[in-house]
Every structure is written in structure tokens, then in C-alpha cells.
Amino acid sequence: MAGKGREIKPHIGIFGRRNLGKSSLINRLAGQDIAIVSDVPGTTTDPVKKSMEIPGIGAVVLVDTAGIDDSGELGAKRIQKSLETLKIIDLALLLVSANTFGREEEDLVRKFRESDTPFFVIHHKSDLLPLDPGFRDSLEETYHTRVLDFSSRTAADTAPIVALMKELIPESAYTPGQLVGDLIRYGDVVLLITPIDIEAPEGRMILPQVQVIRDVLDHDGIAVVCKEREVDAFFRKMQPRPALVITDSQVFPKADASIPREIPLTSFSIVLARQKGDFSNYLKGTPAISRLNDGDKVLILESCTHHVSCDDIGRVKIPRWMSNFTGKKLHFDVVAGLSELPGDLAAYALVVQCGGCMITRKQLMNRIRQAVKLGIPVTNYGMAIAYMHGIYHRAIAPFTGEQPPQPDYL
């Protein structure tokens, strides 16, 4: 199944055995027939996504999955596809019926916990057999979750389910963290340095730049945009001076030289790293660049797929800068989009994650979760670039509160 990609909104997965009415429940929640309903077990073969609006949460994506008790070689592949959706699911609804909870459900709950996916249980088809209070109490005590009794055929409304969804879905799934709003005050000028080069999309700006402009405006700031060649002209002609400067990571050295030391400077990639990445582990992992040795393997994670240019940031520039900075013979691997990570992840000495502008925090955190568990240092494009150009402490200072060191020439 494809990842969220451009669908950056909460994903809610419906899980359970075959013929438990998962598709019927989705139709009730959506208020329309969007999933095929049949009495034949296994009608849903692959995960199916459908967008809808939930009051109090907003736009969400419901994901209808295949039965977790599917059989045969093909059934095993369907189950695996359903389990792969946990990489993008923000909340899971586990359907059971007839007061039955077996090995399949126990295995699924274990996978919910491994992926840090909140969930609750719906005892479905209650019109055929109501929920037994003892069964409900046992599940709630054992799995520390909630159990609702529901029938898509006879229930008057879905309000109890929606209320519990609103209660359990992580707030970060539908309320993204601030980008720069907490760093500026009313009327502050924020200067955005945006190179227009071979990697810039024709006729438009890249998503992080647009997101930052919107965040500045949402917090009553004034966004000023220029290319790196016009920065010096801006400071000669414009007043007041900016309260913050955000640059494309690729022109960090130019920005560092042009922006007065008293003005905070960071990059779009670092701003995104704080909003949706594992910022604390990035801070710990970035200095590991200096500890790389000959023969070390570095994994670069691009979270979107794009046309690769001759001077691509992830595939060309970062490997070149890192090799030059360390003076070591390093081996680089790149994984694009949401493709599977290498099975021998422990063989890597460093993981470098892009800003992740096209994916959700859940997806991004899942990308680097295993590396963190294995103790592999992780960093971010912008933080790595700043580190390799000697301006790391200045670039993270707006977020850590530390005073960046003065350059030796001052």
C-alpha cells in the first residue's frame, strides 16, 4: 500500500477478522456507501483509503483492511499488507464479535503497541449477539483500552465511536507543531532565502518554503523572500532588520557570511526537523559525523520521490560534503519515498533523514525508529549540512536557546 504521501492528515485504520463488518462500519462513519459490503468473507482484499470529515478533528482518512484471519498463501500476503498500514495509521479500531478475542487479535494488539498506535475495541454486530459485560471488563483490564458495543445495522448513530476517536487520536496527528510562530512577535520581519536553481520546481516554490510563509503570516509576522544573491542588497536597503532568517540549507555558508551575527539564522530543513522530526535525537546524532571512519556506511532517507538532478542534495551534495568533511572513504545508500529500509540496518554508522515535508510525523518517526532503537546516530539534512559547514551551533541556537559561538575572525 502506498504511504500517505500528499495526504497529510490523520489516518484511522479498521482492523479485524473477515466478515466482521469492517466495510459496513466505514460506510456508517462516512455516512455514505464508500466500501463494498458483502456477506462473502474476504471481500476486502487490499487496504482501501477514503477521506471524510469528522467534527472536532476535521479531515481524516479511513483505511479499510483485509481480514487478519485470511488463509492461504495469498491470504498471508493480504494480512501483511494490512499490517504494513500501521506505518501510517494514527489510530486503530479493532473489530471483534460474538464476545470472541483470540490469537489473531492478541497478535494485532501487540503490533499496535510496537508501533505506538493507540486503539480501542468495537464489539460489532451486537444485533446478533450483545456484548457480554464480563468480556468487556476482561478486555479493558487486560489491554488498558475501551470496548464499545455497536451494530452498523441497527445503531441509531455513531456518536460514541466518533467521541472516542476524538479522545484517543494523538493531537499531533491533526494539529501540527509550530514552525516559527513561537520565535517571532507581532510585526516581526522574517527573511526567507530561497535559491532558484536546477532543483527548484518550475513556476512555484517548494512545500517547506510555502509552509513557513504561511506560518509567519498566521502569527502576524512579515515574510520577505529573496534569492541568496539579493541578501546583501536587502540589508543595504531594507529596514527594520529581520528578527529571524531562514535559508535553504544548500546556501548555508553564503547566508552565514551575509547575515549579521546578532540575527538568528536557521534553515527550512531544521525548522521542519523540530516540527515533525525526532529533534532531540538529531541533536545527539549530528556530531557523530565527526566520528565516521573509513568504510562506514551512511543511509540517506528521502521521504518523497522526485527527479534526480546532476547536483541532487541527498544523492550528490551531502555525500560529497560528508566525504570531504571527514576525509574518509564512506559508502552511501539512498532509500526514496516510503520504500522498505535495508534489512541490515545495524550495518550503518549514520542515518540522514530529509525534512519530511511530504509525510506525517508518524511516518517520519517510524522511518528512523529502528535506527534509534539500535543506537545508530540519526540526523537531518539541514542539521548535517550546517554541521559540515561549521555553522551548526548557530543554526540550532534559535531552538536550543544556546548562544552561538562567535567566529574566530571577530
pLDDT per position as a tens digit, 52-94: 777 666 788 889 898 888 877 888 888 888 888 888 888 999 9
Q: Is 406 domain-assigned?
A: no
Q: What is the CATH number of the domain that holds 135?
A: 3.40.50.300
- Residue 339 confidence (pLDDT): 75
Tell me: do 146 and 236 sit in the same domain.
Answer: no
Cell of 209: 518554503
Tell me: do 15 and 150 sit in the same domain.
Answer: yes
Q: Is 397 domain-assigned?
A: no
Residue at a domain's end among 232, 251, 271: 271
Q: Is 4 domain-assigned?
A: no
Secondary structure in 3-state letters for 238-301: CCCCCCEEEECHHHHHHHHHHCCCCCCEEEHHHHHHHHHCCHHHHHHHHHHHHHCCCCCEEEEE
What are the beta bridge partners of residue 223? 190
- Residue 376 confidence (pLDDT): 97
**Is the Cβ–Cβ distance between 389 and 337 less than 8 Å?**
no
What gap in Å lies between CA 118 and CA 358, rounded to an integer?
23
Determine the average pLDDT of the residues in 282-291: 97
Q: In what order do the strands lie in the sheet with 348-353?
A: 331-335, 297-301, 348-353, 378-380
What gap in Å lies between CA 248 and CA 99, rounded to an integer?
56
Mean pLDDT of the chain: 85
- Residue 355 confidence (pLDDT): 82
**Is the Cβ–Cβ distance between 192 and 209 less than 8 Å?**
yes
Tell me: do 37 and 166 sit in the same domain.
Answer: yes
What gap in Å lies between CA 312 and CA 289, rounded to an integer?
20
pTM value surpassing 0.85: no
Cα dihedral: 299, 302, 306, 309 (round 10): -50
Phi-psi region of 381 (alpha: psi -120 to 50; beta: other; left: phi over 0): alpha
Residue at a domain's end among 173, 191, 209: 173
Tell me: do 363 and 230 sit in the same domain.
Answer: no
Q: Is 399 domain-assigned?
A: no
Domain that holds residue 204: 181-271
What gap in Å lies between CA 41 and CA 182, rounded to an integer?
52
- Residue 173 confidence (pLDDT): 63
Tell me: do 109 and 257 sit in the same domain.
Answer: no
Q: How many residues does the chain have?
A: 410
How many helices and strands (H and E) does the chain possess? 14, 14
Residue at a domain's end among 221, 236, 271: 271
- Listed in sequence order, the residues at least 6 apart from 130 whose beta carbon sits closer than 8 Å to its beta carbon are 149
Tell me: do 187 and 154 sit in the same domain.
Answer: no
- Is the pLDDT score of 24 beyond 70? yes
pLDDT band at residue 4 using 50, 70 and 90 as cut-offs: very low
- Is the pLDDT score of 130 beyond 60? yes
Tell me: do 29 and 164 sit in the same domain.
Answer: yes
Question: How many domains in the chain?
Answer: 3
What gap in Å lies between CA 123 and CA 130, rounded to an integer?
8
Q: What is the CATH number of the domain that holds 220?
A: 3.40.50.11420
Determine the average pLDDT of the residues in 232-241: 91
